[in-house]
Amino acid sequence: MTALAAERPEPLNARALRRAARHERLGLLALVAPALVLIAVTMLAPVLWLFYLSLLSDGGQWSLEHYQRMWEQPSYWRTFATTFQVSLMTTGICMLIGYPLAYCLSELPKRAANLCMIAVMLPLWTSLLVRTYAWLVLLQRKGLINGWGISLGWWDEPLALVHNLTGTLIGTVHVMLPFLILPLYSCMRAIDRDYLKAAANLGASPARAFWLVFLPLSLPGLVSGAVIVFVLCLGFYITPAVLGGGKVIMVSSRIANDIEVFFNWGAASALGVVLLVLTVAMMVAAQRLMGARGLLGGQETR
Amino acid sequence: MVRNSSLPISMRQVTKKYGQVFALDHVDLDIRSGEFLTLLGPSGSGKTTLLTVLAGFTRPDHGSLKFGDAEMIARPPHKRGVGMVFQNYALFPHMNVADNVGFALRLRGVGRSESAVRVEKALDMVRLGGYGARGIDQLSGGQRQRVALARAMVFEPRIMLMDEPLSALDKQLREHMQIELRQLHDKLGMTTVYVTHDQREALTMSDRIAVVQGGRIMQLDTPRAIYERPAHRFVAEFIGESTFVPVRVAQGQVRLGERTLRAAEHPGADGARLLMLRPERLQLLAAGQPQPEGLNLFGGRLLTQVYQGDSALLQVALEDGTVVWLRQAIHGTGHAAPEPGAAVVLGLSPQDTLLLPAEGAAA
């Protein structure tokens, strides 16, 4: 026994097992490699290119003139303020509409809930442009809603429902709502209803059980839905452009303007970079805020 | 926590139908104050429905439910003031141990400092003192079980409901917790209704056992009576192992084929019966030797035997072809059992000669 062990300093099959582990790691790396390359080519490279363009002056020299202009002209400040205002308001309205809706869906039997989810998802499968112009038809001065409202005697003058903030918000909320409901709904579905029974058993009225147990447990879903909506809104172009009618100017419209009207890639890139940096900064801040509130995502898995 | 702080429970005609199926079929049940009563039955028997009616989570179609003198049947769960331990514990994952345990106190407006004292006391009671700041996901299964228990008893409910609280634990821990739960009940004295499908657990812990089947209570009695004097074949089969041999009663005598069996009790009216044979109540006697007096004797042939450590299980074919099981305790290492095929004689004392109503006969 001892003689045998002395002849073989390596423990039994240790090398073969190490090799097998290495092979597995390489295999996994090979599997993710296409995705990594794709991300590098389609995400990382354009962002770096954007950054590079934003640092070139109109004459092709290295310069900070685009950033300087943004800093000095108040119209840029207004654009960013509008962008964040529209995004925040859209997110807020989506949360107010989406939370009760997702809650009702999560309480339904599975089959009925699936049917309703299809109804919620349906808008996502139709063209964004079609939906946006449909809203234009509904909301304009001589549109369907004003027509009905006046003929029913609810109001006398056509309401300004479009080409302003109201119209923009109606459109963005409509487009963004599914993105909030999806994560929120699946989070709510995963909440074991025994928690609510336990709360009731311990003396909580339905309202208090909701407030103390269900709401905190659904918060991770609400937060991730809200983050998706907010970030998508920041870069939203078509709907605010059409329904805002040039009165609600968001960063994306301005970028399109810079390129289509002025052919100024540098200015457009600078806007894109600032928007990206602000978005990332807000995400980090939100993450910090959530992190400080403890393990809200601590779902019990069984 | 004060003793004598328990309430009796009384159920009358409680009925719950799902479609055409009775989950509860006109259940009458009286649970004494301070009693540890177990609802025992297979899955789908209605035992859990019965418990959820007590807790208020299931609204029956009709019936009466009283805690003490107060009618509870229509009262919502949060106004019933009963403690409950859930099968999966249902500990709130977004709260630590102390917040879970203190939840009921918080709802009752108990002040922060008093609440902290009572939470710590409850945690001490389940031997988890000092665990208050832990997260739920940092606890083992047994610890979660204890937290759930502490949470249910911290507000000193006079009735405690437990829905298979030990089913998620491994065997060793489960047996340990059975004793511990029972001791805790004896210390606190609240009326406890315990649901399980584990017959040994029911026998170990209960003052009385209600055997539930098909939405009805088949038998309600002490563990000993349930085991030794089952009222129905179902109860006898569900609790313990047994073989049944059809017999007849004629003129006050128990007849097995042409033979007359000795029974300790008068067998009642004439008619068909089932003789219940518990494996451990049968004695294995040596064939071809003088037999002890006073036993009912059955000749047979050994078919197989199974070694089970503390005992051996022997399968014996009686002369009329009936196959019965016999459990023989193994007292020493030198234990020798007869070979398969050997002729054996089984003895059954008149006290253990128990008759059950035959199939189809009115119970």
Which of B237, B262, B283 delimits the end of a domain? B237
What is the sign, positive or negative, of the torsion defined by CA atoms of A231, A236, A239, A245?
positive
Going by C-beta distance under 8 Å and a sequence separation of 6 or more, which residues neighbour residue B308? none
Chain A contact set for B143 (CB, 8 A): none
Q: Which two tokens stand for residue B69?
A: 């003198």
B3 found inside a domain:
no
Q: Indicate which CATH number applies to the domain containing B301.
A: 2.40.50.140
Q: Which residues of A181-214 are buried (b: 16+ CB within 10 A; e: fewer)?
A: bbbbbebbeebbebbbbbbbbbbbeeeebeebbb
Interface of A with B in 183-242 (CB under 8 A): 192, 194-195, 197-206, 208-209, 212-213, 216-217
Are A195 and B92 in contact (CB < 8 Å)? Answer: yes
Give the distance, in angstroms, between the CA of residue A9 and the centroid of all CA atoms in the same chain.
Answer: 57
Span of B4-8, B11-15, B319-323 with lowest mean pLDDT: B4-8
Going by C-beta distance under 8 Å and a sequence separation of 6 or more, which residues neighbour residue A61? none
Scan for tokens 């009616």, then name that residue: B53
Q: Is B2's pLDDT higher than 60?
A: no
Are A197 and B86 in contact (CB < 8 Å)? Answer: yes
Helices (H), B160-278: 171-188, 199-205, 223-228, 233-238
Nearest to B90 among A197, A203, A294 (CB): A197
Domain identity same for B196 and B143: yes
Going by C-beta distance under 8 Å and a sequence separation of 6 or more, which residues neighbour residue B359? B233, B274
Backbone torsion region of residue A13, taken as left when φ is above 0, otherwise alpha when ψ lies between -120 and 50, otherwise beta: left
How many structural domains compose chain B?
2
Q: Using 50, 70 and 90 to split pLDDT, how confident is the model at A4?
A: low
Are B81 and A203 in contact (CB < 8 Å)? Answer: yes
Amino acid at A282: M
B1 found inside a domain:
no
Helices (H), chain A: 2-7, 14-39, 45-54, 65-72, 74-107, 110-125, 128-139, 144-151, 165-189, 194-201, 206-209, 215-234, 238-244, 251-260, 265-292
Q: State pLDDT tens for residues A181-217.
A: 999 999 999 999 999 999 999 999 999 999 999 999 9
Domain residues for A287?
Answer: 82-292
Q: How many CB pairs under 8 A join A and B?
A: 78
Are A194 and B57 in contact (CB < 8 Å)? Answer: no
**Given this model, what pLDDT does residue A302 score?**
34
Strands in B283-285's sheet, in edge-to-edge order, are B283-285, B343-348, B296-307, B311-318, B323-329
- Which site among B94, B99, B119, B167 would you substitute to test the A interface, given the most A Cβ atoms closer than 10 Å to its Cβ? B94
Q: Indicate which CATH number applies to the domain containing B22.
A: 3.40.50.300
How many structural domains compose chain A?
1
Q: State pLDDT tens for residues B155-186.
A: 999 999 999 999 888 888 889 889 989 999 99
Q: Is B4's pLDDT higher than 70?
A: no
Find the closest chain B residue to A296 by CA distance.
B94
Predicted TM-score (pTM) of this structure: 0.80
Residue A89: exposure state from Cβ atoms within 10 A (0-12, 13-18, ≥19)? middle
Find the closest chain B residue to A219 by CA distance.
B94
Q: Is B331's pLDDT higher than 80?
A: no
Q: How far is A192 from chain B (nearest CA, A)?
A: 8
Are B104 and A213 in contact (CB < 8 Å)? Answer: no
Domain residues for B337?
Answer: 241-357
Which of B216, B237, B258 delimits the end of a domain? B237
A39 found inside a domain:
no
Determine contact, residues B234/B242, Cβ cutoff 8 Å: no
Interface ipTM: 0.83
